[in-house]
Amino acid sequence: MIGAGIFAALAPAAAAAQAGLLFGLAIAACVAFFNASSSAQLARLYPASGGTYVYAKERLSDFWARAAGWAFIVGKLASCAAVALTFGYYLFPAYARFLAAGAVIAFMALNSFGIKKTASVTKVIVSIVVLSLVAIVALILQGHPNLANLQPLSGSSGLYGILQSAGIWFFAFAGYSRIATLGEEVRNPETAIPRAILLGLTLTFLIYAAVVVSTLLVVGPATLAQTNAPLVTAVHEAGFAQWQWLVTLGAVFATLGVLLTLMTGVSRTLFAMAADHTMPSYLARVHPTYKVPYLAEVTVGLILVGVVLFVDVRSAIGFSAFTVLLYYAITNASAYTLKPDERLFGRKLATLGLLSCLVLAFTLPLASVIVGSLVMLLGFAVYGFTDEREAHKHSAPVRPDHQVTAYAAQIHAQKAVLIYRLSQLQPLQLRIGDSSVQSLMFDVSRKGLRGALFRVSCKFKLSL
């Protein structure tokens, strides 16, 4: 969880709530806990990859599943843009956009060749970031702290400003959902997962709070709100300009580590949704050698290059926060439908999570709400167009000897996998190599296998 968020979100949060951003930080941590609790319950029941896209399909409807999938894609694309721009502003502000575009292109190439960030690399990155933040706090507090910078403690915008800053701070708590998905891998998930979530969020909150308090005391919210590299500004104001490299080091490791992870996650989600016929089918094409969805990787990279060259970092953060909050609102709504024997926690946490996500989403800056809402509507138009094409494709007569050949990849295991949605009652004969394996008949009535997925882990021909 500790990463690029503290380097990016501090300035816009200060602009929204001034000293009240401290309360906003605490609210964001609580909302993250509600969301992680709901994710943990659902991940235990539905361990398949896909997150809320899968949960909503199982617990709500295809409409909400698609809404969640689209919100995740556009929200994380905006997160990628904000993180890439933050990298540029901390490294070389005058060329921030070009540096951000260069980082995106470099990672697009790396991802296309199947290069991944390992767990050991992640540990090194987090260690460097935490040590740099501790050193930054120590340096800043040697400046000239002024308690007047914390007045008024609630900020000049009152509750609205605090809630707006909480929505922005939510951007900085990304990562807790990874803990929530470990229910199948730990003993006693009913107690281990909540403790891990609470511990992770508490540590993240304490580190962020130390950074926020120290920067507010020395610099003040007005100065923080005007910069795109607030921690560099804080170190300068404290009289330690010669230590700026330490801030830059932490920011570079934090932003690049998060950017690589986010770009990979977005491309894999696009691939899964395309294979499920809810996104354009070309996104499901897999490179025959590197076994990665290379067209999805390229698509993500090209979109991000355009965004970082023309969109402001604060607009990207606001948009990302809005759409990701909607995504977790659907997560909480899915968790609300769980039966008593399916739950790890009471229904109140899901209710609080749903309501708090909606409140924070719609108290974000008006521009973020309007643009985010329009993009969500655009997503539904894309889905409608895709559905129409699929319906037209399947309405054409199919020759008895017609063969459909498909290639896909199970990313982590690097095995080919095809996800074929059963849409009508028909016999299927699966052929692997030259030998016929089995002939299957599926009943896919509305009360039967609605939305079922037929998975095959191999390279194959599917004869209809």
Q: Do 307 and 429 lie in a common domain?
A: no
- Is there a domain that residue 249 lies in? yes
Query: Domain of 260: which CATH number?
Result: 1.20.1740.10
The residue to which tokens 């499901």 are assigned: 284
| Per-residue pLDDT reduced to its tens digit, 53-75 | 888 888 998 888 888 888 988 99
Q: Would you say residue 168 has pLDDT above 90?
A: yes
When divided into structural domains, the chain yields a total of 2
Q: Do 336 and 430 lie in a common domain?
A: no
Mark which of 355, 386, 417 sits at the end of a domain.
386
pLDDT of residue 182: 53
In this structure, of 253-267, 330-344, 449-463, the range with the lowest mean pLDDT score is: 449-463
- Is there a domain that residue 396 lies in? no
- Is there a domain that residue 397 lies in? no
pLDDT of residue 119: 56
- Average the pLDDT over 335-361 and give the result: 90
Q: Do 58 and 163 lie in a common domain?
A: yes
User: In the numeric block, which tokens belong to residue 316?
Assistant: 């990207």
pLDDT of residue 202: 85
- Is there a domain that residue 31 lies in? yes
- Average the pLDDT over 368-381 and give the result: 90
Percentage above 90 pLDDT, the chain: 22
pLDDT class of 178 with cuts at 50, 70, 90: low
Q: Which residues contact 118 (CB under 8 A, 6 or more apart)?
A: none
Q: Which residues contact 244 (CB under 8 A, 6 or more apart)?
A: 232, 235, 236
In this structure, of 297-311, 346-360, 435-449, the range with the lowest mean pLDDT score is: 435-449
- Is there a domain that residue 77 lies in? yes
Mark which of 327, 356, 386 sits at the end of a domain.
386
Q: Which residues contact 358 (CB under 8 A, 6 or more apart)?
A: 325, 329
Sign of the alpha-carbon torsion through 250, 253, 257, 263: positive
- Alpha carbons 440 and 392: distance in angstroms, whole number: 26
pLDDT class of 48 with cuts at 50, 70, 90: low
Length of the chain: 464
Q: Which residue has the higher pLDDT, 431 or 135?
A: 135
| Per-residue pLDDT reduced to its tens digit, 291-342 | 777 788 888 889 999 999 998 888 899 999 999 999 999 999 999 999 888 8
- Average the pLDDT over 259-282 and give the result: 79
Q: Which of 106-120, 294-308, 378-392 has the highest mean pLDDT?
A: 294-308
- Alpha carbons 435 and 310: distance in angstroms, whole number: 54
pLDDT class of 7 with cuts at 50, 70, 90: confident
Q: Do 84 and 198 lie in a common domain?
A: yes
Q: Which of 169-173, 193-197, 288-292, 323-327 has the highest mean pLDDT?
A: 323-327
| Per-residue pLDDT reduced to its tens digit, 386-409 | 666 655 555 544 444 444 333 333
The residue to which tokens 């491309």 are assigned: 267
Domain boundaries, position 15:
5-386
β-strand pairing of 403-406 with 435-441: unpaired
Q: Do 322 and 452 lie in a common domain?
A: no
Report whether the peptide linkage leading into residue 400 is cis, meaning its omega lies within 30 degrees of zero.
Answer: no
Mark which of 323, 354, 386 sits at the end of a domain.
386
Q: Do 206 and 232 lie in a common domain?
A: yes
- Alpha carbons 126 and 98: distance in angstroms, whole number: 26
What is the DSSP secondary-structure string of 124-191? HHHHHHHHHHHHHHHHHTTS---GGGG-STT-TTHHHHHHHHHHHHHGGGTTHHHHHT-TTTSSSHHH
CB atoms under 10 Å from CB of 444, counted, come to 15
Q: Would you say residue 419 has pLDDT above 50?
A: no
Q: pTM here?
A: 0.76
What's the whole-number average pLDDT of the chain?
76
Q: Do 167 and 45 lie in a common domain?
A: yes
Cα distances (Å, whole numbers) of residue 146 to 201, 238, 371, 422: 28, 12, 38, 65
Task: Phi first, then psi: give them for residue 188, nearest 5 degrees.
Answer: 50, 60
Q: Do 107 and 211 lie in a common domain?
A: yes
pLDDT of residue 99: 93
Instruction: Characterize 237-253 residue by residue with b for buried, 16 or more Cβ atoms within 10 angstroms of its Cβ, and e for exposed.
Output: bbebeeebebbbbbbbb
User: 230: buried, middle or exposed (CB in 10 Å: 19+, 13-18, 0-12)?
Assistant: buried
